Structure 1
């Protein structure tokens, strides 16, 4: 038996608006289906569902989406697009205008953190950042 899993995101009546916003940012993204209650969409080829569930539940930092970026240009692009109407956090985190939390991180971060000699310096550097700067992490 093959099963798939994907996130269901709870919105207060604006699931399609949010899905269109996210699809405009990520490549290989589109609305798959929609009705008054649910919108199914792909983000970068991955399945998502938006539910118009009402005001009963809101997003918080307990759940976030991590996006690994190979270049500073990718980080800068995603940061600017997702932050439009949202709020910066620390250490590569932001909350978008719908309240969804994102971590925009360099793909090299895992490698830097796995180096026992470099990791403490990298941690010290990233704790000073809001949006990640790949060169500063490499130089740490």
Structure 2
């Protein structure tokens, strides 16, 4: 089996996700799959398609990919075109993403205060130290952006 066939002719082990511009949807969801089915061969067919794509320079903003991912997936239109605006992006980021994170942190702090007299035991294991370091890095990035 050729290398490409391990992916394109392996429907039992591969799920095909495609990300593309909206103009390609008719071809990739109807015409091309019909052509594959017409061959009577066992092809990996499309499992899921998403078309929330705009601009090649989002990465140049240095905004973490998770923030973009949240915004784009939560803003995806189902019946019309999507129009990106910085005002909407900032509003959704601050009122949804950060607000939910803040609420989560607040709930954890209240829980620790109520149940553990505001005391968190020292973290001695390497995995706990790594977790704390990762959380602090994420919080630093959030505050930076």
Q: Answer yes or no: same fold by TM over 0.5.
A: no
Between Structure 1 and Structure 2, the one with more helix by share is 2
More strand by share: 1
- The structure with the larger Rg is 2
User: What is the TM-score of this pair, normalised by structure 1?
Assistant: 0.30
Q: TM-score, normalised by structure 2?
A: 0.29
